[in-house]
Every structure is written in C-alpha cells, then in structure tokens.
Amino acid sequence: MEKSTLITGGARSGKSALAERLTLSATGRGVYIATAQAFDDEMKSRIAAHQDRRGPEWQNVSEPLDLCGALTNTDGGDPRLVDCLTLWLTNLMLGDHDWRAAGAELTKTLRHQTAPVVFVTNEVGCGIVPENKLARQFRDAAGWLNQTVAEACDHVYLCAAGYPIRVKPNDNPF
Amino acid sequence: MEKSTLITGGARSGKSALAERLTLSATGRGVYIATAQAFDDEMKSRIAAHQDRRGPEWQNVSEPLDLCGALTNTDGGDPRLVDCLTLWLTNLMLGDHDWRAAGAELTKTLRHQTAPVVFVTNEVGCGIVPENKLARQFRDAAGWLNQTVAEACDHVYLCAAGYPIRVKPNDNPF
Amino acid sequence: MEKSTLITGGARSGKSALAERLTLSATGRGVYIATAQAFDDEMKSRIAAHQDRRGPEWQNVSEPLDLCGALTNTDGGDPRLVDCLTLWLTNLMLGDHDWRAAGAELTKTLRHQTAPVVFVTNEVGCGIVPENKLARQFRDAAGWLNQTVAEACDHVYLCAAGYPIRVKPNDNPF
C-alpha cells in the first residue's frame, strides 16, 4: 500500500467505501479520522450509526479542525482514513481559520508520516457557477485544497458509480 | 458485446450517442426503452422528434416505471438501450414508489437477461451541495442507484466531451 | 506536441496550469488568447495580474468574440492557448450571437491551422439540473460546444485535482 492516497468524486459516488477497503488492505485494521462535527442530536446519532456500521477493526478519532495533530498522534501504527477534506475545509471556513495556511501545513505534516494515509474529498466544481457568492468561494477553496493535497499524495483516484479511475500516477506527457 | 453496460456522465456529455452506437454494434438493430414521460404536447413532440431521428433500426418502447417488465418483455432479441435511469428514478420518486426496492429488483432482473442491455444515467453529484432538500435527496438516491446498477453491470464508462472513459473493469488494486 | 488539444474539467481543477505547461512544452514560448472581458476595474486588474504571473514567455492576446480571427492572426508561430471556451460561449450568448454557427466555424478554422492550439473549457453539467432556465440553456450549449471542439481535436483530457485523465484517443471499442 502506498503511503498517501487521495480519493475524490461526487456525492454518493462510492468514495468512502473504496477508501475503507483500501485502508484496511494493509493490516486488516485502520484508524478512522472523522472531520464531521456533531452540532445536534440527529447528527450525533448519525455519526454513532456510522461508527457501528464500520465495525471493531476501526479505531475512531473525531477531529474537526486539528487534522495535523490527529495525523501526528496516530502515526506509526495502522493506516489512517481521513473522511473528509471537504468537511474539514467547511469547519475551517466557518470558524474563520486561515484555510490556506492549514492546507499548506497539512502537506508538510504528510511528508513526515510513516504510516499510510487515505484522504477522501469531494468534487464540487463540475456544475453551473453558483449564484451564491459564499458557494463560489467554497468551491474555489475546495478545488485549491484538492490540488494541494493531490500534489503531496502518491496516488489519486476519481470515483464514478462506485469504481475508481486512476488519476495519479498517469502516463500522460505533461 | 458484453451483456450489460452502464454509461454515465454529465448533461450533454454525449452519453446517449455513445450508448446508441454501442447498442447497434452487435446486430445493427436495437430496442430503445425510453423512461421519459410525456406530460404535455411539447414533451410529446420532443419524444416523437427523437424517435424520428433514431431511424427504423430501432424498436421504440416507452416505459416510465416498470423497467423490469420492459426488459423481460424485450429479452431474447436485439440489444436494449435504457435511456435513462435518472428519469426512471425521478418517475419513481414523484409517484412515491419504493425506489430502493425497484433498484434492487432491477439488478435481480438483469441477472436473468440473455440479450445485452445498455443503461444511460447521469452524474448529478459533482456540484455544490444543493440548498433545496429534495434536490439533495434526489442526488443521494441517484448516486445510490448508479452504484447499484454499476455493480451489476459488466462494463461502466464515464463520458466527457463525447468520449468514454473506462471505469469498469479497471486494473486498480481495490 | 499534437496539433490540437482540449482540456476540460471542473472549476479549480488545474486546467489552466496544465494547459500552460503543455503549450510551452514545444518551443518554450506561447500565445495566450484570453476570452475574458474586462467589464470593470476589478476585472481589469485581475486580468493584468494574470498576465504578470504568466511571465515574458507569453504573448498576450485578448479576444472575447472573434476567436477564429485570433487563431488565424496568430498562426504559423508559437503554440496558442485559448482560455477559455466557456467564457467565449458566455460572450457569444450575452451578445445574442449565433453560437452554434460560431462553434461550427471554429472547428472549420481549426482544420487549417499549422501551429498547435490548446483549448481550456469547463465541465458544467455534472450537478443537479439548475432551476434557472438560462442556466439550463447554458449548460446544454456548453456541453454541445465541448463535444464539437473535442471531435475536432487530436487529444482530449479531463482534469481532476490538478492531474489529467486521458479521454481521447482511447482504446475503448466504441
């Protein structure tokens, strides 16, 4: 298993299931780093249901903001799955954090990891330009973050209908 | 020609033209199973115009809901083209049918078909999260249906700018 | 370097950076044909900032409408980069020009070019169907233009997270 992988794709394209399978492929165990925040009881029960579904082979870590800390704390053991970068970016933007600095720090942290990391992220830029200004800013930021993390990863896949298309490495001449 | 193929892609990405070419490639003839519903005269004339464009090599079947029945009734002859799954899902949801059960039944029916089937469907999950709740539910359902049918198909292609990208089978390790 | 290439992808997927790299790969110099229109001072300063970033290896041409004229005028020298077709289509539609005729003329012009051309365009059809009628017409037109130019090009790539996926030529059987 490669040290770092980015799995991108649209909503419900099968990204998380593929990421789970890839993460478990090395040792049969994985660390699930969830960036989702439980703002209310409905969200709390959804997150609990997700953890139950995943089973005892997963160690669950919840970290909405300090992703670098979570990666450093869990390094040296089983592969980690970060689900997902788009929610992490949302949390950073809602909390008025410097998301560009956070993205740059993430790629730096990634360089020093010894256990594998699989990132899940979303394609959000393939629709009509949103009329809402915040939505336009978010899709620009998400595109920037995806490119930044992809450049730091060994492998990148794009999911469609539950299957991965290889994006990096590729044999294109540029 | 493989027994079952799913062709997905964005609006106006060339999915239907590719599906028509693939369907006709085996015998030069095909059965066109259209899931569009003609609610008004404008829609009726658009559907009639589409049928005229396709020419006499096509047998036209219109079936907005009972796709399994349409496949069973047309089995044993020329390849079938189902255009499209996204409209079928829309019809199921608008009519308050159990679309999960219908999707599961479709994959079961597919297993017993002897003549080839080519499905056309849409990528609807690669934009910004819609503000409209029904739109979010629809894109979740469409993603689920695409994954479910893709798993039951021998081949999956993603269309971009009129050309197919192979999604399944692939040589990725997961 | 092939004579003509289309690079498509979502917003902030790395299309322009890849197109710049490809365009410069032949001679180390390129002609940048920008279709963006500067309607106000903010836009003017953004365009100026883009030109500064690109550096002296680029000759900058601004042409919002007469793309065929711009290609003919710049033929016979360094490779050209057209950034982007989606803005060109926007300009054509806003000015009430016949965009289908313009697209057809573009493919005709392309046939007679001797220096390479790299086109950048956008995927806008992979989200939920827009509620806005003009947005639906635009995404239909954009899909048509992408298919039309792709058919006339030697190579087509789809960008995801900063990396190109090869779309044309491909080894699919249809």
- d(Cα A48, Cα A22) in Å, to the nearest integer? 22
Q: Which candidate from B25, B123, B160 shows the least CB-CB separation from C174? A: B25
Count Cβ atoms below 10 Å from residue B104 Cβ, excluding itself. Answer: 13
Evaluate whether residue A114 is within a structural domain: yes
Count of domains for chain C: 1
Within 8 A of A155 by CB-CB distance, chain B residues are none
Strand B117-120 relative to strand B4-9: parallel, antiparallel, unpaired? parallel
Q: Which candidate from B25, B138, B163 shows the least CB-CB separation from C167? A: B163
Evaluate whether residue A32 is within a structural domain: yes
Q: Active-site residue numbers of A?
A: 50
Evaluate whether residue A11 is within a structural domain: yes
B11 touches chain C (CB under 8 A): yes
CA atoms within 13 A on the CB side of A145: 32
Q: If you ran DSSP here, which 8-state letter would residue A156 be given?
A: E
Q: Pick the closest to residue A165 from C161, B77, C41 (CA basis).
A: C161
Residue to mutate among B123, B144, B154, with most A CBs inside 10 A, is B123
* Residues 6 or more apart in contact with residue A58 via CB below 8 angstroms: A29, A30, A31, A32, A51
Q: Pick the closest to residue B73 from B105, B33, B23 (CA basis).
A: B33
Evaluate whether residue C174 is within a structural domain: no
Evaluate whether residue B151 is within a structural domain: yes
pLDDT digits (tens, 9 = 90+) for A11-31: 999 999 999 999 999 999 999
For residue A42, what pLDDT band results from cuts at 50, 70 and 90?
confident
pLDDT at B43: 78
A156 touches chain C (CB under 8 A): yes
Beta bridge partners of B165: B158
Q: What is the ipTM of this complex?
A: 0.95
Q: Compute φ and ψ for C161, nearest 5 degrees.
A: 50, 35
Q: Which candidate from A131, A146, A173 shows the least CB-CB separation from C161? A: A146
pLDDT digits (tens, 9 = 90+) for C87-104: 999 999 999 999 999 999
Q: Active-site residue numbers of C?
A: 50
Number of CB pairs < 8 Å for A and B?
90
B130 touches chain A (CB under 8 A): no
pLDDT digits (tens, 9 = 90+) for B44-101: 887 888 888 889 999 999 999 999 999 999 999 999 999 999 999 999 999 999 999 9
The residue range of the domain holding A62 is 4-168
* pLDDT per residue as tens, chain C (174 positions): 789 999 999 999 999 999 999 999 999 999 999 999 887 887 788 788 888 888 999 999 999 999 999 999 999 999 999 999 999 999 999 999 999 999 999 999 999 999 999 999 999 999 999 999 999 999 999 999 999 999 999 999 999 999 999 999 999 988
N-term to C-term CA, chain C: 25
Domain CATH code at residue A105: 3.40.50.300
Q: Which of residues 13-32 of A touch B (CB under 8 A)?
A: 13-14, 18, 21-22, 25
Please give the share of chain B, as a percent, with pLDDT higher than 90. 87
Contact A11 B172 (CB under 8 A): no
Evaluate whether residue A123 is within a structural domain: yes
N-term to C-term CA, chain B: 25
Evaluate whether residue B54 is within a structural domain: yes
- d(Cα B102, Cα B89) in Å, to the nearest integer? 9
C-alpha to C-alpha distances, A169 to A6, A123, B76, nearest whole angstrom? 12, 19, 43
Surface-to-core class of residue C32, CB atoms within 10 Å of its CB (0-12 exposed, 13-18 middle, 19+ buried): buried
Contact C151 B157 (CB under 8 A): no
From C14's Cα to the closest Cα of chain A, the distance in A is 7
C114 touches chain B (CB under 8 A): no
pLDDT digits (tens, 9 = 90+) for C48-58: 888 888 899 99
Q: Compute φ and ψ for B46, nearest 5 degrees.
A: -65, -40
Would residue B170 be called left, alpha or beta, if left means φ above 0 and alpha means ψ between -120 and 50 degrees?
beta
Contact C139 A126 (CB under 8 A): no
Evaluate whether residue B112 is within a structural domain: yes
Q: Active-site residue numbers of B?
A: 50
- d(Cα C161, Cα A170) in Å, to the nearest integer? 13
